[in-house]
Amino acid sequence: MQVFELGTFLVSIVTFLIMFLIIRRYGFGPMAKMLEKRRLYVETQITDAEQNRLQAERFLTEQQQLLESARHQAKELLDTARVRADELARDILSDAQTESRRLLEENRQLIERERAEVLNGVMTSVSALTVELSEKLLRRNLSHEAHQEMVREAEKLLGELIC
Amino acid sequence: MPAFPYLFSNSIFRINLVTIAMMILAGLVVLIVLRLSIRKLDMRNPRGLQNLIEWAIDFTANMARDTMPSEQVVQWILPLAFTMMAFLFVSNWLGLIATIAIHQQQPIPWLGITAQSLAMAHGEVPLFDSPTANMSMTLGMALMVWVLSHATGLRRPKQYLWHFVKNPLGIMEEFTNPLTHGMRLFGNIFAGEALAGAILTMPILFGVVPTGFPFLLVWLLYSGFVSTIQAYIFTILMTLYVGQKSFHGGVHHS
C-alpha cells in the first residue's frame, strides 16, 4: 500500500493553480477592483475635504484682514478729515483776523492822511490870513525877512495850538 | 483503508480521482459564492454577502500584513492568500458536512478498485470527502508554497544566498517547513474524518439508541473548529514563508 500518490500530488497542484486563476479572474478580481476604487474614492474625498478646510481658513483670514484694513482706513480717513477741518477753520479765522486788521489799518491811515491834509490846508490859510491881518493891523511895511520870521512864528504857534 | 478510485492505479503516477474532483468542487463553491457576492457590487453601501467577503479579504490582508515585510508584497500575495484560505476552508468543511461512500462488490479494474482493496475497505468506495484528507494533496499545496517562496527569494539572489550564509541551520528548515506545512493540515483533517468514521461504527443499542451520537456531535463541533483553524494556519504560514523570503519591496515601504 503506497500512501504517497505522485499523480495526486502533481495534479492537485495543477488543479489548484487552475482554480486559483479562474477564481482570481472571475471572483476576486472585480471585488478587488471595487475595493481599490473605494479606497481611491475615500482618499480623494479626504483630500478634498482637507483642501476645502484649508481654503475656508484662508478665506476667513483674508476676510478678517480685509475687515481690519478697512476699519483702519476708515479711521485714518476720519482722522485726516478732522485734522483738515481744524486746519481750515484755523486758516479761515486767521485770514479773517488779518483781513479785518488790514482794513482797520487802512482806514486809520486814510483818516490820518485826510486829517493831515485838512490840517495843512487850514494851517496854510490861517497863516496867510494871520499875516494879512497883522499887515493890515500894523499897517507898516515889513521887511521880507521880518515877514518870513513872523510867518514861521505864527506857524509854530499854530502847530502848538493844534497839537 | 477505503478504496478510493484511482486513475493509472498500477503506475507510480496514481491519481486519486475523488481528491481532484473534490478540489474542483471546492473551487467551484468558492467561485460561486464570490460571484454571488459581486452580483450587486455597491461601492458606497455594501450589503449581505458582499460585506462578508469584504470582511474576509480584509481579514486576509491584515493577516498578511502581520507576517510580511511590506505592503507591496501584501497586495501581491492577497489574491492567492484569500483564495487559499477560502478554498481550504471549504475543502476542510466538505468532509465534515458529509462523507458519502457506496458499497461496491464488483471490482472495477480501470479505476484501480481491485478485489484486494475492496476486501481491505469492506467494499466501501468513498465518493465525497475532504480533498485535504489526502496527504499527497496537502503536500502538493505545501510544495507549491515552497516553490513560490523560493521564487520570491530568488528575485534578489544576493540577499537570498546571504540569508542562508547567515543562518546555515535555516537550510534544514527549508526541508522541514514544507513537510510540516502539508502534514499538519492533512493530519488534522484526516484525524477528524477518521475518528468521525470510527464513531459512526459504534453500535446502536436495542436498534434505537445510537450510543455514538453525543460523541459524534462533540467531535463534529471540534472538527469544525479545527477545520477553520487549519485553513487559517495554512494560509498564515504561507504568507509567513513567502514574507521571510521577500527581500524586495521592503526598502521602499516599511
Mutate to test the interface with A, among B6, B9, B10, B14 (most CBs of A within 10 A): B14
Is the Cβ pair B8, A7 closer than 8 Å? yes
A34 against A137, higher pLDDT: A34
The predicted structure's pLDDT at residue A57: 96
* pLDDT score at A1: 40
For the entire predicted model, the pTM comes to 0.73
B43 is a domain residue: yes
Q: Which residues of chain B have pLDDT under 70?
A: 1, 248-254
Using CA atoms in the order B126, B130, B132, B135, what is the torsion angle rounded to 10 degrees? -10
State whether residue B23 sits within 8 Å of chain A by CB. Answer: yes
ipTM score assigned to the predicted complex: 0.87
Residue B1 lies in a domain: no
- Chain A residues whose CB is inside 8 A of the B11 CB are 7
How confident is the model at residue B253, as a pLDDT?
Answer: 40
Residue B73 · residue B215 · CB < 8 Å: no
Closest to B22 (Cα-Cα) out of B148, B103, B138, B167: B138
In-domain check, residue B253 = no
Is A13's Cβ below 8 Å from some Cβ in B? yes
**Interface membership of B2 toward A (CB under 8 Å):** no
DSSP B110: G
Tell me, yes or no, whether B252 lies in a domain: no
Give how far B11 is from chain A: nearest CA, Å: 9
**Taking CB atoms and an 8 Å limit, are A28 and B82 in contact across chains?**
yes
pLDDT at A141: 63
- For residue A79, what is its C-alpha cell? 482722522
pLDDT at B129: 84
**Comparison of pLDDT for A1 and A127, the residue scoring more:** A127
Instruction: Quick: pLDDT tens for B41-52.
Output: 877 888 888 889
Domain of B127?
A: 6-244
How many CB atoms are located within 10 Å of the residue B160 CB?
15
Chain A hits for B30, Cβ within 8 Å = 19, 23, 27
The domain total for chain B is: 1
- Looking at beta carbons, which residues of chain B come within 8 Å of A11? 15, 20
Q: Distance between CA A125 and CA A133 in Å, rounded?
A: 12
Residue B251 lies in a domain: no
Interchain proximity B14–A16, CB inside 8 Å: no
Give domain status of residue B77, yes or no: yes
> Which residues are registered as beta bridge partners of B102?
B125
Report CB contact under 8 Å: B16, A8.
yes
Other CB atoms within 10 Å distance of the CB of residue A117: 10
Q: Is B31 close to A15, i.e. CB distance below 8 A? A: no
Query: Are the C-beta atoms of residues B141 and B235 closer than 8 Å to each other?
Result: no
Burial class (CB in 10 A: 0-12, 13-18, 19+), A112: exposed
pLDDT digits (tens, 9 = 90+) for A19-73: 999 999 998 998 888 888 999 999 999 999 999 999 999 999 999 999 999 999 9
Of A3, A16, A27, the CB nearest to B135: A3
**pLDDT tens digits, one per residue of A76-105:** 999 999 999 999 999 999 999 999 999 999
Mutate to test the interface with B, among A2, A3, A4, A5 (most CBs of B within 10 A): A5
User: Is B141 in the A-facing interface, judged by CB distances under 8 Å?
Assistant: yes
Q: Considering the domain boundaries, does residue B201 fall inside one?
A: yes
CA distances from B161 to A46, A79, A125 (A): 44, 85, 149
Interface of A with B in 58-87 (CB under 8 A): none
| B250: in domain | no
Return the amino acid letter for B158: K
Grid cell in block for residue A3 = 500512501
User: Are residues B131 and B23 in contact, defined by beta-carbon separation less than 8 angstroms?
Assistant: yes
Q: Which of A8, A19, A41 sits opposite B24 (nearest CB)?
A: A19
Residue predicted with more confidence, A127 or A94: A94
The span from the CA of B12 to the CA of B136, in Å, is: 13
